Amino acid sequence: MSNPFFKNKGPFLIYDILNFLEIKNASVPKNFEIKDIKDLYSCNNSEITFLHSKKYKDLAQKTKASFCITTENLKNELPNHCVPLIVENVLLSVSNITSMFYPNAINDDFDDTAIDISETDFKDKVIFGKNVLIGKNVSIGENCKIGHNTIIEKNVSIGDNCSIGSNTIIRNSLISNDVKILDNCVVGKHGFGFFPNKNKNLRYPHIGIVIIEENCEIGCGSTIDRGSMSNTVIGKNTFLDNQIHIAHNVKIGENSIIAGQVGIAGSSIIGSNVKIGGQAGISGHIKVGNNVEIGGGSGVIRNIPDNTKVMGYPAKNIREFLRDNK
């Protein structure tokens, strides 16, 4: 994962990280500098990683990380060069350490760096409406249109020939060429991710972004949340209708068509050439294959293999659904 937007406040000494995690007696070289926190696969030897489930033991054995936040039960899955840092709740500790490196990725207050587009260099390049605001670290390609009252908040890159509607808000997003985002959308805000806590839920950082590839269209009133530890991706030439909600870390393939009011929960992966009917819902951490058709109103709670048509709640083969519901 390479995050182009959030400023890494590291490096930190492993000594400080241990203190923060309240780990004592760990036999580590305390002046070791840790530059970043990453997943098992992309981590290198100056970075810290984490292992919270046996599912990832194969990745763990190959990690290049020098330190790994994990549990007593999982520590033996790590290679010798990787020092286990034993905690009670891996994800909570990862959240805390990620917050050390990326303190700006936790809360999404409104962007107070945004100024009127007519006070920026974009005023001669972009066709824009009234009251358009542009934040810091924004780039916009050739031949773009941005509608009235729209706010391009900080950390957004927009390609060529894009049309953004009115009353829309975008941040932390890479928008490719020839993309249309219609009115009243919110793209790139943090996802619905936090550790429940009796007195005050603890938000975890969202250091991922939203990537919208070429030729996509996003309908009115839709929300697309950015990823937490990975990105939210809408593949090339995929069209979304109105009032759709795409949660954090979701990946959608190319040439897919998603009808109105569909919701896709966190971390699900949707293939290419997929058609999803109106109001269908996809649970989190689900995998939907390529060339799948999902009937309107369906509730998908299990993986769907390639080339399948499903319908129902829970979604099943459409022939079965129609037979059972004559």
Would you please indicate which residues are annotated as catalytic (active-site) residues? Answer: 248
Is 220 a binder of a second copy (CB under 8 A)?
Answer: yes
Task: Scan residues 12-51 and list those touching a second copy (CB under 8 A).
Answer: none
Interaction of residue 104 with a second copy, rule CB under 8 A: no
Instruction: Tell me how many residues contact a second copy (CB under 8 A).
Output: 75
Q: Of 46, 299, 309, 317, which lies in the binding site for a second copy, with binding defined by CB under 8 A?
A: 299
Q: In the bound complex, what is the minimum distance in angstroms from residue 124's beta carbon to a second copy?
A: 16
Those residues with Cβ within 8 angstroms of residue 197's Cβ, 6 or more apart along the chain or in another chain: none
Q: Is 259 in the site for a second copy (CB under 8 A)?
A: yes
269 to 298: interface string for a second copy, x by CB under 8 A: --------xxx-x-x-----------xxx-
- 154 contact partners, CB below 8 Å, separation of at least 6: 5, 111, 113, 114, 135, 136, 137, 138, 171, 172
Residue/partner pairs of 182-185 with CB below 8 Å, 24 or more apart:
182/217, 182/218, 182/219, 182/220, 182/222, 182/242, 183/147, 183/220, 183/221, 184/220, 184/221, 185/218, 185/219, 185/220, 185/221, 185/222, 185/223, 185/224
Q: How far is the CB of 324 from a second copy (least distance, A)?
A: 10
Binding mask 161-200 for a second copy (x = CB under 8 A): --xxxxx-x--------x-x-xxx-x--x--x-x-xxxxx
Residue type, 165: G
Q: Is 261 in the site for a second copy (CB under 8 A)?
A: yes
Residue 61 as a binder of a second copy (CB under 8 A): the answer is: no
